[in-house]
Amino acid sequence: MTTFLAPRDIARIVAAHGLPVVLNRLAAAIETDFRRWPEFDKVPRVAAHSREGVIELMPVADRTHYSFKYVNGHPGNGAHGLPTVMAFGVLADVATGAPLLLSELTLTTALRTAATSLMAARVLARPVTQGQTRTMALIGNGAQAEFQALAFHHGLGVRELRLFDVDPAATAKLVRNLRAVPGLALTVCASTAEAVRGAHIVTTITADKRNAVIIEPGMLEPGMHLNAVGGDCPGKTELHPGVLEAASVFVEYEPQTRIEGDLQQMPADFAVTELWRVLTGQASGRQRADEITVFDSVGFALEDFSALRLVQQLAAELGLGAPLELIPALADPKDLFSQLQLREQPERLVLQAA
């Protein structure tokens, strides 16, 4: 049997352990897998683009496990009562091909995206001096904003969030969800420029599928770290090219980011560093306190691989998940045809007789 994890199972995992613990364990799991980057069979995700959005498949494998994620991105889905991003994923055994786990990944993607941002910021954001309050501007206050905010609050000590969204209702929702978080101050700003002023970290997580300029070179300040999350498909950007030119740029998987990230605006020879090289000591991260760093984050399949393995473990510990008969159970593995010769259940026969 394949184990199935529904959104309520992920919510129960978070309730049992607490969100800070789950985010930190996700960040640790992703970092562990990034440190063994060469062991994985990797390809850029396969995308089907339409005028309304994109549907993608994201596969990756090591010698023991294979995973893939189905995920969409449709900015207009709110009009249909649907999330912008919806996802599910499979974790399979490489030795047999048997699907071990089928899991929701809509909630889990938000968690792992925030955990990946946290992992990157720990090696790229500048340290704060003693007594200094670490601040983060959060541009785009939609479905994933709370996850990013809480990851940076609990995992990196952010004490002030400076918020802006072109939709005031999104910001109001974010304030409503976070206003009771101890030790976290929320400042609603009237513009992106106001929000980023004085911020140590700037997280952009906007949804519109277009080439947008959310952050301009004139908004940059020495030592700023930009966590650019929203530019994640062709034709969708958030940073002015001059921002990238002024910064040291770090990416997950360069062949994918050159297609989908803010990096798509730059020449093919524009220099970037894959994050796994920093984590393993093969490349430098931040080198100066006044250096501007950019994590051009588009999301990569290895992060979902790590998340699927972790939720599988945590669910098993808590006795969560339902058995799912996804693959036929065969007495004779060569006799697949026998599955079409099922006898009717006795209760059905009784109903028919009545």
What residues act catalytically?
Answer: 232
Structural tokens at position 202: 């700037």
Could you tell me where the beta strands, DSSP code E, fall in 35-81? Answer: 41-42, 46-49, 54-61, 65-73
What are the angstrom distances between the C-alpha of 81 and each of 84, 301, 328?
Answer: 9, 27, 35
d(CA 67, CA 312): 12
d(CA 189, CA 164): 5
Q: Which amino acid, one-letter code, is at 79? A: A
d(CA 309, CA 178): 29
Scanning the chain, the segments in alpha helix (DSSP H) are 7-17, 19-34, 106-124, 145-156, 168-178, 192-196, 241-245, 254-260, 275-279, 301-318, 346-353
